[in-house]
Amino acid sequence: MNSVITQSPAKINLFLKVVGKRANGYHEIISLMSRIDLFDVLTLSFEQPSITIRCSNPRVPEGKNNLAYKAASFFFEALPSSNGVDVWIEKVIPVAAGLGGGSSNAASVLMALNQHYGLPFSNMKLMEMGQKIGADVPFFLLRHSAIVSGIGEKLEKFQGMPPLSAVLVCPNIEVSTKWVYESLNLPLTKSGKNFTIQDFREDPFRMLKSLSNDLEAVTVARFPEINNIKQRLLELGAQVASMSGSGPSVFGLFEDLEKASMAFQAMKHQECGDIFLVSLLLP
């Protein structure tokens, strides 16, 4: 088979705590991350003379700066007998929105290439490649909800994630992850609150209300509309509302799909960006 079509999911950070900063400048975090059923669609055509990346969204780089390109490059360096690949990305996940779209694309390329060439690499080897590409790539290679720590390289599968529905709002603003972390005042944003996985499973909404996203304070200070969206989602019945990653995307979690659907319909009439009705992908 010379081509394959694969889906590449987005993610949300159900909470994100910044717990330290390494000597090299990278911040250490702990976060509960889950994939959601919002997908880019990738078409990979194999046995090409070189690596080419094309995308339906003109804002996405198509050359060596694209994480999918880096993924293919690392793969072919490790398997010299292989050829190139053409990747067409039908972009659905909003760009630069804190949803991990680029990292997910990279993980999907690694997995598709590995499958096509007869599984020459273990998942652990793919993880090693992923760490060189981007902090969220190993998470997407895991294909499971996870507690993510370190700079994204430490992963613990989170078993028993409840089937939660969410309304996802992506404002029409761009937020630089690099700027957010550089602007972070760690002593002011680090809350020090603790949680246990068992507590989360027993009452996820209560636990998430007691936690938060430490990056939110930085992003909201510059873009106050993010907080307005959070408040509107809470007014519409969300049990919890929070920013994902470095933003600007905001999600509201609901007790059931019916309540989430009603909130989704209400939010559609407000001019606040792209709006999606999504569910957490299980496991």
Cβ proximity of 70 and 63 under 8 Å: no
Structure tokens at 27: 């911040």
d(CA 244, CA 17): 12
- Reply yes or no on whether 86 is catalytic: no
Task: Please state whether beta strands 51-55 and 84-90 pair in parallel, antiparallel, or not at all (unpaired).
Answer: parallel
What percentage of the chain exceeds 70 in pLDDT?
93
Which domains, and CATH codes, for the chain? 3-157 (3.30.230.10), 165-279 (3.30.70.890)
Q: Which region among 106-110, 166-170, 210-214, 240-244 has the lowest average model confidence (pLDDT)?
A: 210-214
The mean pLDDT of the chain is 90
Of the residues 11, 17, 70, 230, which is catalytic?
11
pLDDT at 186 over 70: no
pLDDT at 25 over 60: yes
pTM over 0.85, yes/no: yes
Of the residues 40, 86, 136, 214, which is catalytic?
136
- Reply yes or no on whether 136 is catalytic: yes
- Angle, vertex CA 124, rays to CA 197 and CA 71, nearest 5: 110
pLDDT at 123 over 80: yes
3-state secondary structure of 15: strand
The pLDDT-based confidence of 140 (bands split at 50, 70, 90) is: very high
User: Cβ contacts of residue 243 below 8 Å, gap of 6+?
Assistant: 98, 213, 215, 216, 219, 220, 226, 230, 249, 250
- What confidence score (pLDDT) does residue 264 get? 97
The pLDDT-based confidence of 192 (bands split at 50, 70, 90) is: very low
